[in-house]
Amino acid sequence: MDQLRTTDPEIAELIAKEARRQKSVLRMIPSENYASDAVLAATGSILANKYSEGYPSRRYYQGQENIDGVESLAQARARALFKAEHANVQPYSGSPANMAVYLGLLGKTGRVMGMDLAAGGHLTHGAKASFSGTYYEVVHYGLFRDSGLIDYQGARRLAREFKPQLIFTGASSYPRVIDFAAFAEIAREAGAHLVADISHISGLCISGDHPHPFPHVDVITTTTHKLLRGPRGGMILCREELAARLDKAVFPGLQGGPHNHATAAIAVALKEASGPEYAQYCHQVASNARALAQGLLERGFSLITGGTDNHLVLIDCGAKGLTGKALAVALEQAGIVGNANKIPFDPRPANDPSGLRLGTPALTTRGMKEPEMDLIAGLVAQVAASLGNAQALAHIKELAAELCSGFPAPGIHL
């Protein structure tokens, strides 16, 4: 940072401001976390200087002996951690990883079934705003209106009628367990490949807090920067018989040279995730989410599905006469950062939805536990009752910062 301050003081100051923000607020966006000093060191390393198109021992440029070692280590750690036959650690993020699956398994066209975005799915699972809904023929399965749970029988009927070639399971705002075995039966009946996008729950699948996709699915995709606490990146894990097709789809199909500094940081994060401390962390993430849900319910909030099995809760803000965006803005003013989110069967638009999504991964990384979750639920309730009251929100922000001060933020040194 000393050199950066000399070379570019404007950027250095913005980074410092962001560090102060991340240190002093309650970061509760479920897809965010804190990376360790070791992960950050690898991310900022001189490996960013090297071009390495291709794969270990199959490169197009010379000078790869160290890069091959880095990527081979990341691959081996990914295979071991996720019980996978093959691992590709080159995708630049989760969406490119999913795009490679489409290209590798379907080519340019094909029939796909995925979870509806409004039901909690991801853009790349067939949403019209995404490449996946633009270039592929897609149908979406959804949820029961009364419970908010996945309608597996409805998905089965839809697959029988539509006969998809590829089925995506996984979600970005679904707070309950996903039954990969049930989806495997649906995929077998349809003759489809089954892909589990576990970007949000990867750590919980490792620790046993959520059922593991293998051996039920053909392919797993995941980001590396959420529960895994790695750099921004993605991975594809698959059966050996699909390896060549998916590797070719990543490179040269979609990408050029891999980001070697990110590959090294992924390897570090995977090593960190292989120990008992990480499993305990994931247990605590899930326990904290349940405590947060209970605290919110006790304070009169309505939660989609009535609670959570994983790392997040989804609040129906309309039950309190609020919108998700209004509550998200007020929470940020009070030092609590979540995100507005559509809820199932939401009558409101995506840019001003009815829901608010809160998660526990980052707070758990800081060392917070169930008592802090109850305190935070109380702060959220205070914010909901104080919209438009700048003085009250400023006071809550002080309380949030005081809470944060007792739990150091990894990777941030001011």
Closest CA relative to residue 395, chosen from 337, 334, 338 = 334
**Strands in 116-173 per DSSP E:** 137-141, 166-169
Q: Distance between CA atoms of 44 and 48, rounded to whole angstroms?
A: 8
At 114 the three-state DSSP class reads: strand
The encoded tokens of residue 330 equal 């007020």
Please indicate whether residue 223 is annotated as part of the active site: yes
Please indicate whether residue 17 is annotated as part of the active site: no
Q: Distance between CA atoms of 11 and 327, rounded to whole angstroms?
A: 31
At 162 the three-state DSSP class reads: helix
Closest CA relative to residue 85, chosen from 265, 223, 215, 264 = 215
Q: Distance between CA atoms of 254 and 46, rounded to whole angstroms?
A: 24
φ, ψ of residue 259 in degrees (nearest 5): -85, 95
Q: Is 388 exposed, middle or buried (0-12, 13-18, 19+ CB in 10 A)?
A: exposed
The catalytic residue among 50, 83, 232, 290 is 232
Please indicate whether residue 18 is annotated as part of the active site: no
At 312 the three-state DSSP class reads: strand
The catalytic residue among 111, 226, 325, 397 is 226
Please indicate whether residue 163 is annotated as part of the active site: no
The catalytic residue among 116, 197, 309, 372 is 197
Please indicate whether residue 197 is annotated as part of the active site: yes
The encoded tokens of residue 94 equal 């989760």
The catalytic residue among 50, 51, 135, 332 is 51
Q: Distance between CA atoms of 108 and 129, rounded to whole angstroms?
A: 17
Alpha carbon 134 to chain centroid distance? Answer: 23
Return the bridge partners of 88, or none.
236
Please indicate whether residue 6 is annotated as part of the active site: no
Residue with tokens 């240190």, as numbered in its chain: 23
The catalytic residue among 53, 68, 179, 332 is 53
Task: Give the neighbor-by-neighbor strand order of the sheet with 234-238.
Answer: 86-88, 234-238, 219-223, 193-197, 166-169, 111-115, 137-141
The catalytic residue among 43, 124, 169, 223 is 223
Q: Distance between CA atoms of 50 and 260, rounded to whole angstroms?
A: 7
- Active site amino acids: 51, 53, 197, 223, 226, 232
